[in-house]
Chain A
Amino acid sequence: MHELGIVFHMIDTLQEIAAQNELTAISKVNLRLGEVSGVLPDYLVDCWDWAKKRTDVLQEAVLEVEQVDAVTVCNDCGKTYPTVPQGKTCPHCQSPNTVLLHGLEIEIDTIEGC
């Protein structure tokens, strides 16, 4: 259900880009998806395959999903670490003063079309 909402946002953006670039058919969409974005790739592709058939410019469009690993940086020791196994606490200095660098992306990277 959540993934379908994301797909609707994607389709709005893609329709705009197609119009700006005078594309009549988009054949491929490359999406960068953060590991902790809360979006499940399999569900996203299922929703995509359903929704694209209802969108003229996306009839034949294939969605390629590239995962972006979640990385957190520690504000105290300056080191980075993988977010998923460690969470908010820095494994190097145990500080809770950490910020997520990557992992929330739901980014349309490139599209192909004519």
Chain B
Amino acid sequence: MDAIKVIQVKEDVRANNDRAADALRERLRDAGTLLINLMSSPGSGKTTLLSATLDRLSYELSIGVMEADVDSDVDAHTVASHGARAIQLHTGGMCHLDAAMTEQGLRNMGIEGLDLVFLENVGNLICPAEFDTGAGAKVMILSAPEGHDKPLKYPLMFEVSDLVIVSKMDVAPYFDFDLEELQKNVRMRNPNATILPLSAKTGEGMDAWCDWLRKAVKEWKV
């Protein structure tokens, strides 16, 4: 029998993913397509927000949406009906997307001619924050009913996000939701994050969100 060899590896298991994500980000930069990793809990209103966003922006930007869920394709049908090129990714039980799955999804959907692609990550506030998908920007949605204490409970998600959207602001008064307290809790974790309260239902804050997207797309293409 061969002698046992001991090999010093000293490598994080996420290192391979990080390299793949960096390479994908470069390719998307060259293609002029901004990929946004959209993360939140289940039921935070991601699909509703995307539908309302498409209604406002699909005349000026070409937008694709990759919906990642454990199962079903209801979300892909919904966003496609609002004018997006859409594809449904099934993670087969996996609780987050990684760079390889993202790349496969982009290849199947085709990014040619797209200015902006939303990757609607699996609904959960934990591991989607840990795995780099290759996106150019990370946006998280916290819906008002979830409560202003979430940055304390899921710090990493708030630390890695460039933009924190507070959705369902129209119902905030019914849930004792304190926006100032939320802003304080987010700033403690991430002083650089932009915080945007909105309601896809009433349209409050939607202009600011669309402006943020226009600017992000423009800057990505420079």
Contact = CB atoms under 8 A, between A and B. Distances in A.
Contacts of B94: 1, 4-5, 8
A5 B9 contact: no
A9 B13 contact: yes
B78 interface: no
Contacts of A108: 9-13
A13 B4 contact: no
Nearest to B9: A108
Contacts of B3: 114
Contacts of A114: 1-5
Interface string B4-34: 1111111111111100000000000000000
A39 to B, nearest CB: 9
Q: Is the interface of A mostly helix, strand, loop or mixed?
A: mixed
A23 interface: yes
A108 B7 CA distance: 10
A113 B155 contact: no
Interface string A7-23: 01110110011000101
A88 B189 CA distance: 8
A111 B5 CA distance: 8
A106 B11 contact: no
Interface in A86-114: 88, 96, 105-114
Nearest to B155: A88
B5 A9 contact: no
B93 A1 contact: yes
Given A2-B95, A2-B127, A88-B188, A107 B7 contact: no
A9 B126 contact: no
Nearest to A7: B13
B186 to A, nearest CB: 13
Contacts of B1: 114
Given A2-B126, A5-B127, A21 B12 contact: no
Given A9-B16, A106-B14, A108-B13, 10 more contacts: A2-B95, A2-B96, A8-B94, A13-B9, A21-B5, A23-B7, A38-B126, A38-B127, A108-B10, A108-B11
